[in-house]
Amino acid sequence: MSEINKRPVILDGDPGHDDAVAWVIAAKCEEFDIKAITTVAGNQTLEKVTYNAQRIAALCGIDCPIAKGAAVPLVGNLIIAPGYHGVSGLDGPKLPEPKRAIENIPAVELMAKVLKESKDKVTIIATGPQTNVACLLLAHPELKEKIEVISLMGGGLRNGNWTAPAEFNILEDPEAAYIEYHSGVPIIMAGLDVTEKAMIFPSEWEEFRNMGNDVARTVAEWLDFFFKHLHEIGWEGATLHDPCAVLALVHPEIFTMKDMYIEIETKGEYCRGETVPDWDNRLGKDSNVKVILDLDRVRFVELLKEYTRKYGGK
C-alpha cells in the first residue's frame, strides 16, 4: 500500500498487556501510518505505562514520537490494576530497553501537532482511560474535524468489570468519556459486550511460543501472565479487550456493530462510569457511537496469529 493511502493513526493507551497486544497488531497493519504514541495512567501509573510504551515500540519497531499524557483522571483519584498487569504494568517477559526518548511536549500537544500537520483526517485508537482524548477535545476544539474516528476500548452495555455496571477505562474517568461521547466525533466502541467474547485460550496461544520470532514469544509470555489472575477469578481464557479497537478498523467484517445513542453516567453512588444504552431510542436522539456487539472469535484468533507471524519465523 503506498504511503499516501495509509490511515494516519495515534495510539493512546495504558499498557497493559492487552494494550501491548493491540500495538503488536497495529504495528503490522499495512493500512496504518502510526504518527504518535501517547500514554495515560490506568493499568499502572503514568511513569510505568510510559516506560512500557517505549519498550513495546522498541520491540515492534514502531519509530514515532512518544509523549506522556494524564497522570490522573479529570475528577477523582487514579485507580490502577496491578492484579491483572503486575507491579510494572506489563509483568512477564523481559523486554528491550527504549530506543526513543519521551518527547518534551505533553500528549495533548503531540496529538494536536499530528492533527494540524496531517493532510488527511487522523484516527485515534484509544485503549485506556479517555482522559487524553477529552483534554485534546477541550484544548483544541478547532481540531475535532481533523479526527476521522476514535476507535476505543471502553464501557459495556450490559455489565461492567470493575464495578457491577462500569468498565475500568470509563470508570477511571467518566467525565472524560462524557466529553468524548458528546463531542460529535465519530466513535467506534469496543466494550465488554464484544471484548469479553474476544477470548483466546491457552492451547491457542501455545502456537505463538513456537512461531520463531521474539514478538510472538513475547506475546505468549504476556498472555501467560495476563491469564493468571483471569483464571483465578474463573475465566477459561484471556479476554483480549484492546486488540478489538485495532481490528475493528482493519477487519470490520469479523464484528457485529450497531449505531446507538449512549449516555455516560458521571454521578450515582452505584452507577458512576456506566455506559447507558438507549436500546429503544426512547430519548429520540441521533446515535453518537457505533457499538461493537459481537465477533467471530475463531477468525479473531486467526488474525492475531497472522499479524504476529509478520514479525518473522514460521
Per CB under 6 A, does 18 bind ligand RIB?
Answer: yes
Using CA atoms, how far apart are residues 51 and 219, in angstroms rounded to an integer? 18
Residue 191 contact, options ligand RIB, Ca ion, none, Cβ 5-8 Å cut-off depending on partner type: none
Rounded to the nearest 10 degrees, the angle between the axes of helix 297-309 and helix 214-232 is 140
Q: Write the DSSP symbol of residue 256.
A: E
Cell of 234: 474463573
d(CA 126, CA 136): 12
**Number of chain residues interacting with ligand RIB (CB under 6 A):** 15
Q: Which is nearer to Ca ion, 172 or 204 (CB)?
A: 172
Q: CB-wise, 160 or 277, nearer to ligand RIB?
A: 160
Question: Rule CB under 6 A: is residue 12 a binding residue for ligand RIB?
Answer: no
CB 56 within 8 A of CB 63: no
Given the rule CB under 6 A, which of 15-23, 110-118, 212-220, 251-259 is the region that contacts ligand RIB?
A: 15-23
C-alpha cell at 256: 457485529
How many other CB atoms sit within 10 Å of the CB of residue 308?
A: 25
Shortest Å, Cβ 10 to ligand RIB: 16
Cβ closest to Ca ion, residue 198 vs residue 211: 198
Please give the Cα distance from 136 to 133 (Å, whole number): 5
> At its nearest, how many Å lie between ligand RIB and the CB of residue 231?
17
Q: Could you tell me if 222 and 21 are in contact, meaning their C-beta atoms sit under 8 angstroms apart?
A: yes
Q: What contacts 24+ positions apart, CB below 8 Å, involve 51-54?
A: 51/88, 51/98, 52/15, 52/16, 52/20, 52/88, 52/89, 52/90, 52/95, 53/13, 53/15, 54/98, 54/99, 54/100, 54/102
Segment 135 to 194, residues that bind ligand RIB, using CB under 6 A: 153, 161, 167-169
**CB 169, min distance to ligand RIB, A:** 5
Distance, CA of 4 to CA of 96 (rounded, Å): 31
| Calpha distance 198→93 (Å, rounded) | 23
How many whole angstroms separate alpha carbon 299 and alpha carbon 239?
15
Cβ-based nearer residue to ligand RIB, 128 or 277: 128
Please confirm, yes or no, whether 241 is among the known catalytic residues. Answer: yes
- In angstroms, rounded to a whole number, what is the distance separating the alpha carbons of residues 226 and 276? 28
Least distance from Ca ion to the Cβ atom of residue 109, Å: 22
Judged by beta carbon, residue 40 or residue 157, the one nearer Ca ion is: 40
* Nearest distance from C-beta of residue 270 to Ca ion, angstroms: 24
Q: Give the footprint of Ca ion on this chain (CB under 5 A).
A: 14, 16, 19, 127-128, 242
- State the residue for C-alpha cell 485506556: 128
Q: If contact means CB under 5 to 8 A according to the sort of partner, which of ligand RIB, Ca ion, none does residue 161 touch?
A: ligand RIB
User: Among residues 8, 9, 11, 19, which is the contact residue for ligand RIB, using CB under 6 A?
Assistant: 19
Of 13-21, 178-186, 221-229, 300-308, which segment contacts ligand RIB by CB under 6 A? 13-21
Q: How far is the CB of 155 from Ca ion (least distance, A)?
A: 13
- Annotated active-site residue in 17, 85, 241, 251: 241
Which option in ligand RIB, Ca ion, none does residue 167 bind, with CB closer than 5 to 8 A by kind?
ligand RIB
Binding residues for ligand RIB restricted to 237-296, rule: CB under 6 A: 241-242
Provide the annotated active-site residues.
Answer: 241
List of residues contacting ligand RIB (CB under 6 A)? 14, 16, 18-19, 42-43, 127-128, 153, 161, 167-169, 241-242
